[in-house]
Amino acid sequence: MVYSFTMSSCVEEDLQTIPQKQDAAHVELRISMNALEGSSYNRAGSSTNSDTKEEGLPYERTIIGVNDIEILIFDLSSDAYRGKATNLSMTGANDATLRVVSGELPKGLLNQNVRMVFKANYNGRNETEGNPDSGYTAWTDGSTFNYGKKVWSTEDNKYIPMSGECTFTVKQDNYQTIELTRAIAKVRVRMATECTKYKLTSLKAINANSLSYSLKHTAPIAKFDNGLTDVLTFTNLNLTAQNKKTHEFYLPEQANNEDKPTTLQIGLTNIEQGSTEILKDNIDFRYYPEGKLYPIERNYIYEFVVNKKADETKADIQVTIMPWESHDINSDYE
């Protein structure tokens, strides 16, 4: 019995039968990371639909080996846990956009409707995993991770948690597809090309949760703990229109609310005068012009473009929200 998975939508195809023991099933997962359509919003007041997609760095799609992979199977109707795939192996480069994972499924699943969940890169990311024996729903509700006390970056030799799932009827010789999403959002800040009088020198995320669900939920976790303000504080930046540098960091998803919205505090330095100021108004994650707060969602990028004229007290901020793809691009990631 053969099983094959990819990351997109759930489909089945007949494969050439490979002789197996009657009580065993082989699984082959082809995993990749796709993106959905996105929309762009800006603080100037206009809102337009856009299919702009952001391609990811190799670091942001890396899975190294099978030691940090889990494949769990649940009964589709009862939510009951049926076990994990075992004897896993994986082919493809660590940062390839398409990987193939092979293994053995638990016994006794033939002709049953199941849900398969794929997880990668959660070891070392302070995960508190729920008990799968309690069933799929309770397990996902009880599985969280804590961002920790250090900024996530390419320097820490840990990678971005990602997961996906698919439902299907177990048959001999199956081909299935699973779409992975990263468990966090990415924030990017840069100066507008016309803003030549200022440079961005400091950045701080305020009211950012450190806690997040491990797996995708219909709504991000609402708990507020402000645990990342000290962690996500960046100084000695040098972002100018001339050098076209950006600053990027990762942020756990969160529901975001009007009482304590997640905001960015920006520090600008006048290039000619050398004087530094903290912008009076923090930058919100909002829809414009409606003004509704936008939930910070996993696998999305939030780009803030800062523009300020020397004779004005307030800055003009353009906010763009886009899905996160997985192809190679040149990036100013710092």
What pLDDT is recorded for position 290? Answer: 59
**Among 58-72, 125-139, 230-244, which stretch is predicted with the lowest mean pLDDT?**
58-72
CB 232 within 8 A of CB 209: no
List the domains of the chain with CATH numbers. 2-37+55-182 (2.60.40), 184-323 (2.60.40.3690)
Q: What is the dihedral sign for C-alpha 241, 244, 249, 252?
A: positive
Q: Reduced to 3 states, what is the DSSP secondary structure of residue 155?
A: coil
Is pLDDT above 70 for 51? Answer: no
Is pLDDT above 50 for 177? Answer: yes
What pLDDT is recorded for position 321? Answer: 87
- Helices then strands (H, E): number in the chain? 1, 23
pTM as predicted: 0.82
Is pLDDT above 90 for 74? Answer: yes
The 3 state secondary structure assigned to the chain is CEEEECCCCCCCCCCCCCCCCCCCEEEEEEEECCCCCEEEECCCCCEEEECCCECCCHHHHCCCCCCCEEEEEEECCCCCEEEECEEEEEECCCCCCCEEEEEEECCCCCCCEEEEEEEECCCCCCEECCCHHHCHHHHHHHCEEECCCCCCCCCCCCCCCEEEEEEEECCCCCCCCCECEECEEEEEEEECCCCCCEEEEEEEEECCCCEEECCCCCCCCCCCCCCCCCCCEECCCCECCCCCCEEEEEEECECCCCCCCCEEEEEEEECCCCCEEECCCCEECECCCCCCECCECCCEEEEEEEECCCCCCCCEEEEEEEEECCCCCCCCCC
With residue 137 as reference, give the H or E element that holds it. Answer: helix 136-142
CB 31 within 8 A of CB 88: no
Q: What is the dihedral sign for C-alpha 215, 121, 300, 35?
A: negative
Query: What is the per-residue pLDDT across 134-151, written as a single tens digit (0 to 9) for each?
Result: 999 999 999 999 998 889
What pLDDT is recorded for position 194? Answer: 94
Is pLDDT above 50 for 287? Answer: yes
With residue 248 as reference, give the H or E element that holds it. Answer: strand 246-252
Residues in the chain: 334
What pLDDT is recorded for position 214? Answer: 94
What pLDDT is recorded for position 284? Answer: 87
What pLDDT is recorded for position 155? Answer: 74
**Among 1-15, 63-77, 98-112, 223-237, which stretch is predicted with the lowest mean pLDDT?**
1-15
Residue 281 structure tokens: 């108004």
Is pLDDT above 60 for 34? Answer: no
Phi–psi pair at 129, nearest 5 degrees: -90, 135
What pLDDT is recorded for position 223? Answer: 64
**Among 220-224, 301-305, 323-327, which stretch is predicted with the lowest mean pLDDT?**
323-327
Query: What is the per-residue pLDDT across 208-265, written as a single tens digit (0 to 9) for each?
Result: 888 899 998 877 776 656 678 889 999 999 999 999 999 999 999 888 877 888 899 9
User: In terms of pLDDT, which residue wins out, 63 or 153?
Assistant: 63
CB 99 within 8 A of CB 30: yes
Largest CA distance in the chain: 78
